[in-house]
Structure 1
Amino acid sequence: MAKEVLSKDNIHLNVKLSDKEEAIRYTGGILVTNGYVEESYVGKMLEREEMTSTFMGNNVAIPHGTDDAKGAVLETGLTVVTVPDGVDFGNGNIVKVLIGIAGKGDEHLDVLSKIAIVCSEEENIDKIVEAQTKEEIIALFDEVN
């Protein structure tokens, strides 16, 4: 049976992170620990960040691997990490919501469209940052079909 794309184990609330690299390693580490990707995927996430920032605006970053990291993806997965104090992604871009993605084949496209819909509304970003339970975050993503 395929894993849930976003399970409670993939959500970490109120995390303190000191910099962009730590944030990406932390986000990728959840994907590794929960069996979505091989360890090498995290390096590809850092490589992607060097090529172009995954900061999306609205206090959101979406770290993910490079195109050649596909082989390291075992299952499509999504992680959500809230950083209420924020982490600097450079150029004054402060991130409070990290959404890590690993997509098998083209499945990441569906996942990305869901994220885009949820994160396009600032109100939803606030709800994610202020969430007290993992269920609140899952409910927000489940509302989008």
Structure 2
Amino acid sequence: MSILTKDKVKLNVKVNDKFEAIRMAGDLLVQAGHVPQAYVDKMVEREQVSSTYLGAGLAMPHGTNDSKPLIQSTGMSVLVVPDGVDFGGETAYLVIGLAAVGDEHMEVLSSVAVLVSEDEDMQRILASKSEEELIAIFEEGMDL
């Protein structure tokens, strides 16, 4: 199972707040079979403890450490939020839900961070016209 597939990508998303964005990203992971619904609650709990905003318009919500056993397989969901969503005073335009088995968490996190740290790549992701186009950018920029 690929960690990023078309059914886990949503373009032109409008959300009222970061918790709606986190739940939407988490629900995509649930629907794809990576995690149970309880993991989404842990993603929200994690955000209440400390922001998952990483900078450069990127937030990567994920579960708390104690939610690790809930993860059935590594997966990633991507929301493109053209109007942005407030993550504790910072605006995220790209929200990536993450569930990773074992040590894969840091590997995926750093690969995504490197990809979006290039302003040009971030702009290409945000300007994606289709799920396939967005996935292609991630596949060329990461080792998926």
2:24 alignment partner in structure 1: 26
Aligned AA for 1:38? P
SS of the aligned residue for 1:87 comes to: strand
Q: How does 1:67-86 map to 2 (within 5 A)?
A: 67-86=65-84
What letter is aligned with 2:101? K
- Structure 1 counterpart of 2:100: 103
For residue 129 of structure 2, what is the amino acid of its counterpart? Q
Determine whether 1:56 maps to 2:47: no
Amino acid of the structure 1 residue aligned with 2:20: E
Alignment partners' CA distance in 1, 2:96 and 2:121: 13
The correspondence for 2:85, drawn from 84, 87, 94, is 87
Q: Secondary structure at the match of 1:139?
A: helix
Q: Structure 1: 5+ residue runs without aligned partners?
A: none
Q: How many residues align?
A: 142
Deviations 1:109-144 (A, max 9, x none): 221121011111122111111100112211112113
* TM-score (ref. length: structure 2): 0.94
Structure 1 match to 2:127? 130
Q: How many percent of aligned residue pairs carry the same amino acid?
A: 47
SS at match of 1:138: helix
Is 1:5 aligned to residue 15 of structure 2?
no
Check conservation: 1:114, 1:141, Cα contact below 8 A: no
1:51-85 per-position Cα deviation (integer Å, ceiling 9, x unaligned): 11001111110000011111111110001110101
1:84-126 Cα offsets, whole Å, 9 max, x none, are 01111122x1111001100011122221121011111122111
Task: Report the Cα distance in structure 2 between the residues aligned to 1:129 and 1:81, rounded to whole angstroms.
Answer: 10
Any idea what the Cα deviations from partners look like across 1:11-35, whole Å, max 9, x if unmatched?
Answer: 1111110101111111101001111
RMSD over aligned Cα atoms: 1.0
Q: Which runs of 5+ in 2 are unaligned?
A: none
